[in-house]
Chain A
Amino acid sequence: MIHPHGGRLVNRMVSGEEREGLAREAPDLPAVALNQRELADLEMIATGAMSPLEGFMGGADYRSVIDSMRLANGLVWAIPVVLSAKTEEHKTLTRGDRVSLLDDAGRALAVMDVADRYEADHDYEAQMVLRTNDEAHPGVQYLQSISPVYLGGTIHMIRHPEHKDFARYRLEPKETRVLFATKGWNRVAAFQTRNPIHRAHEYLQKCALEVCDGLLIHPLVGETKSDDIPADVRMRCYEELMERYYPKDRVVLSVFPAAMRYAGPREAIFHALVRKNYGCTHFIVGRDHAGVGSYYGTYDAHAIFGEFEPQEIDITPLFFDHAFYCRTCGNMATTKTCPHGKEDHVFLSGTKVREMLAAGELPPVEFTRPEVAKLLAESSR
């Protein structure tokens, strides 16, 4: 089994007397109400999905990640995982203080030992991580919505967040690792998406499955921008396809709780490292991975892997070019495998698909399976 990033799977869930003690202590501590991204991060830290992180980043890790895509100890890590102050009281917290971390219903989910309070430079963070300061970028908008005062420290998770959706698809890294081991899968490819599944995605997944023992389809169900297709619709599309077109004994569908950062290349590194923690050995990186608008080059998310030694990332990226159905070839292909021109290719942009659905038209079968087209059409009414 592939090692988690940093060598061990972090577990910040506490139990027994420790949990009881912290649960008693939490109501008397200064409270920090987490936003949706922070809640998702908290859960992923606690369950080891973000190994080796044991809490929200302190200033040294934050600055190192922004400047060099490495934690202060040198391990590759491309995305800041931070907790923003919410009140004036939070801005006075110092090392040694403890805070309780609350969900949106006011329940204390965790206690954090404050190790650092520091001032972020949001302009610099945006430029380095998102490669833009454009206020139209959803990641820039997020930074503008939070305080630049960040709190860092180790967490102690006393209860899981209450999820009302996808309960049967929520697996922790330790569970996917047991699952893959039990199935005898040595080579497992992970597929990340925040979009509905089209034939091109299916093609990439099945190409990966040709060279691996198993496939983890891991749709992101954390916070996305408002015009993305809702996660429940995307999941229904996956369920339909899994039932009809995928080999059940070789494919696992589970949800990825993270929020989207829309950080393109850096987020591709993050997505790959996290899937290593889930026990995957390979990670599919398609065109414009985790991109938005035209902020990133089509294959920037491929190129960024070249900035590291392969053993530093460890999980193997599977790079795929732009995929489509070619009428002349009569099959799915990519620009690497098809010699024909664009006039032979069936490919629709997300905008075009939305326009078709709004007009009551279904995308062609060469682009989207009819079952998926039907579900998308129903959800767009």
Chain B
Amino acid sequence: MPHDPSQMVTLKIPRPLYERLTQLIEGTGFRSVTEFATYVLRDLASHPTSQREAEAAAGERMTEAEVEAARERLRELGYL
């Protein structure tokens, strides 16, 4: 994981939360609250977060008809 100081910024969180997180990461392999927070936030950011995005994602799931059309093409091409 890169740690170029010029690419890092400071986030502020309440001290009680910081202390709670310090306890939480004991024995987990995370070396600091910063490392843990980065892990959690990246995971969160890598998935649709807003309601709009979630709806869009749901709307773009394939319908049964689309899945069957894809299967039909795959059969025609000899994949199935």
- A171: which B residues are within 8 A, CB to CB? 74, 77, 79
Q: Which residue of chain A has the shortest Cβ distance to B41 in the bound complex?
A: A74
Find chain A residues with CB under 8 A from B74 CB: 171, 175, 178-179, 182
From the candidates A9, A178, A309, name the one contacting B67 in the complex (CB within 8 A): A178
Q: With A8-B57, A11-B60, A182-B74 in contact, is A311–B79 under 8 Å at CB?
A: no
Q: Roughly how many angstroms separate A168 CA and B78 CA in the complex, as a whole number?
A: 9
Q: Which of B28-66 contact A (CB under 8 A)?
A: 38-39, 42-43, 45-48, 53, 56-57, 60, 62, 66
Q: Which residues of B contact A252 (CB under 8 A)?
A: 79
One of B38, B45, B60 near A73 (C-beta < 8 A): B45
Q: Is the CB of A7 within 8 A of B71?
A: no
Closest Cβ neighbor of A253 among chain B residues = B79
Report whether B7 and A68 are in contact in the complex, using a CB–CB cutoff of 8 Å.
Answer: yes
Q: How far is the CA of A379 from the CA of B57 in the complex (A)?
A: 46
Taking a contact as CB atoms under 8 Å apart, the answer to whether A8 and B48 are in contact is yes
> A-B contact count, CB below 8 Å?
66
The digit string for A200-239, where 1 denotes a CB below 8 A from any CB of B, is 0000000000000000000000000000000000000000
Q: How far is the CA of A131 from the CA of B71 in the complex (A)?
A: 43
Q: How far is the CA of A168 from the CA of B43 in the complex (A)?
A: 37
Question: Is A6 close to B, CB under 8 A?
Answer: yes
The answer to whether B70 has its CB under 8 Å from any CB of chain A is yes
- How far is the CB of A289 from the nearest CB of chain B, in Å? 20
- Nearest-CB distance from B11 to chain A (Å)? 13
Interface pair A179/B79, CB less than 8 Å apart: yes
When each residue 1-43 of chain A gets 1 if its CB lies under 8 Å from chain B and 0 otherwise, what string results?
0010011111100000000000000000000000000000000
Per the CB 8 Å criterion, the residue count for chain B at the interface is 26
Contact in complex: B2, A307 (CB < 8 Å): yes
CB proximity of B34 to chain A, nearest CB, Å: 13
User: Which residue of B38, B47, B70 is within 8 Å of A178 (Cβ)?
Assistant: B70
Contact mask B68-80 → A, CB, 8 Å, 1/0? 0011011001111
- Does any Cβ of B come within 8 Å of A174's Cβ? yes
Q: In the complex, what's the smallest C-beta–C-beta distance from A331 to chain B, in angstroms?
A: 32
The answer, yes or no, to whether B1 is at the interface (CB within 8 Å) is yes
Report the minimum CB–CB distance from B56 to chain A (whole Å). Answer: 7
Residues from chain B with a CB closer than 8 A to the CB of A10 are: 60
A68 — which chain B residues lie within 8 A by C-beta? Answer: 2, 7
Verify if A312 is at the interface (C-beta below 8 Å from B).
yes
What chain A residues lie within 8 Å of B43 (beta carbons)?
311
Contact B42 A312 (CB under 8 A): yes
- Say if the beta carbon of A245 comes within 8 Å of chain B: no
Please indicate the chain A residues that have their CB under 8 angstroms from the CB of B57 in the complex: 7-8
**Are B80 and A307 closer than 8 Å at their CB atoms?**
no
A117 to chain B: closest CB distance in Å? 26
Q: Show 15 residue pairs from A and B whose CB-CB distance is below 8 angstroms, ordered by the A residue.
A: A6-B46, A8-B48, A10-B60, A68-B2, A169-B77, A171-B79, A174-B62, A174-B70, A178-B62, A178-B74, A179-B70, A179-B74, A182-B74, A309-B42, A311-B39
15 further contact pairs, Cβ within 8 A, besides A6-B46, A178-B62: A7-B53, A8-B48, A8-B57, A74-B45, A75-B45, A169-B77, A175-B74, A179-B70, A182-B80, A183-B80, A307-B1, A309-B1, A311-B42, A312-B46, A314-B46
B residues apposed to A, CB below 8 Å: 1-2, 7, 38-39, 42-43, 45-48, 53, 56-57, 60, 62, 66-67, 70-71, 73-74, 77-80
Residues of A within 8 A of B (CB): 3, 6-11, 68, 73-75, 168-169, 171, 174-175, 178-179, 182-183, 252, 306-309, 311-312, 314
